[in-house]
Amino acid sequence: MKELLYDAAKKAGIELSDEQLNKFETYYEMLIEKNKVMNLTSITEMNDVVMKHFVDSISIKKYIDLSGKKIIDIGTGAGFPGIPLAIVFEDAQFTLMDSLNKRIQFLNEVIEAIELKNVETVHDRAEDLARKEGYREKYNYCVSRAVANMSTLLEYCIPFVKKGGKFISYKSGAVKEELEASVNAQKKLGCKYAECIEFTLPDTDISRTFVVFEKVNFTGKAYPRQAGKPKKNPL
C-alpha cells in the first residue's frame, strides 16, 4: 500500500515521508478492520482507498497551504479529509466533527494509534456546534467532503469560519448548477464564491473539484438554523 500511495501522491505533486506513509498504512488497516463491524465506507479495495480517500483528501496541498492554520472538518465520517490532512500538515490544528459518536470513537482510536498531536474530535451536529462560543467563527478554514447540496453545506460550514477565512467543499462532477443555486445562501451567510480548483486523480478519469468560498462578513445570529432545517429547506 505504501508504494502505491507514495507514487500516486507524487503524481499529485505531494511528497510523503516514510513516517507519513506508515501512518497512512496503519489508518488503512484500522479502517478496513473496523469497517467489518460498522459502516464507515463502501470503498474498501486498497487501490480505491488510496486514490478515492487518501489522495483525494490530500490533493489540496498542491494548491492551498494549510500550514499553521486552524481547520475544522464538518461531517468527517471515517475521517476524510481531516485525518489525511492532519498527517500531511503537521503544524496545522484540526477539529474533526461528526454527529455519530461511534465514528468519533473510531477516529480517537486512529489518532492515538498513529500519534497525531494536532487533532481534536467533537461529537455534535453542525447546527448546534456552530452556536458554541469556542467554535463559531474561530477557524481559518473549514473543509468538508460531506454529501449535501451547496446551499446546505454553506449553512453548516460558513458559521465556523473567521472573517477573511475560507470554506473548501470537496465535490465530484459538475458544480455550476449548485453554485448558481447557492447565491442566496452566500449573501445571507456572509460569504462569496472565490474559485473552483479542478483536478483529476492520478492514473484515473475521476474528476474532482475544490469549491472555495471566502468569508467576507460575520454570519448573522439566525444561522445556522435549528437541526434539520438547512437540509430540508436550503437557503
pLDDT tens-digit series, residues 17-38: 999 999 999 999 999 999 999 9
CA of 160: how far to CAs of 2, 73, 128, 156, 231, in Å?
Answer: 34, 10, 11, 8, 17
State the pLDDT confidence band at 74, using cuts at 50, 70 and 90.
very high
Nearest to 96 by CA among 79, 113, 111: 79
pLDDT tens digits for 154-184?
999 999 999 999 999 999 977 999 999 999 9
Domain count, the chain: 1
The CATH number of whichever domain residue 228 belongs to comes to 3.40.50.150
Would you state the pLDDT for residue 173? 77
CB atoms within 10 A of CB 3: 8
Q: What is the C-alpha to C-alpha distance for residues 151 and 185, in angstroms, rounded to an integer?
A: 6
Can you tell me the mean pLDDT for 126-133? 95
pLDDT surpassing 90 at residue 227: no
Q: What is the C-alpha to C-alpha distance for residues 64 and 86, in angstroms, rounded to an integer? A: 14
Domain holding 218, by residue range, is: 2-232
Q: What is the pLDDT of residues 106-116, one digit of tens each?
A: 999 999 999 99
Is the pTM value of this prediction over 0.75?
yes
Amino acid at 161: V
Residue 113: per-residue pLDDT: 98
The proportion of the chain whose per-residue pLDDT surpasses 90, expressed as a percent, equals: 97
Contact of 210 with 170, CB cutoff 8 Å:
yes
32's CB contacts (< 8 A; 6+ apart) are: 44, 49
Residue indicated by cell numbers 480548483: 197
Task: Find how far residue 130's CA is from the centre of its chain.
Answer: 16
In angstroms, the first-to-last Cα distance of the chain is 43
The answer to whether residue 127 scores a pLDDT higher than 80 is yes
- Whether 108 contacts 177, CB under 8 Å: no
Q: Which of 138, 171, 131, 56 is nearest to 120 (CA)?
A: 138
Indicate the helix (H) or strand (E) that contains 187: helix 183-189
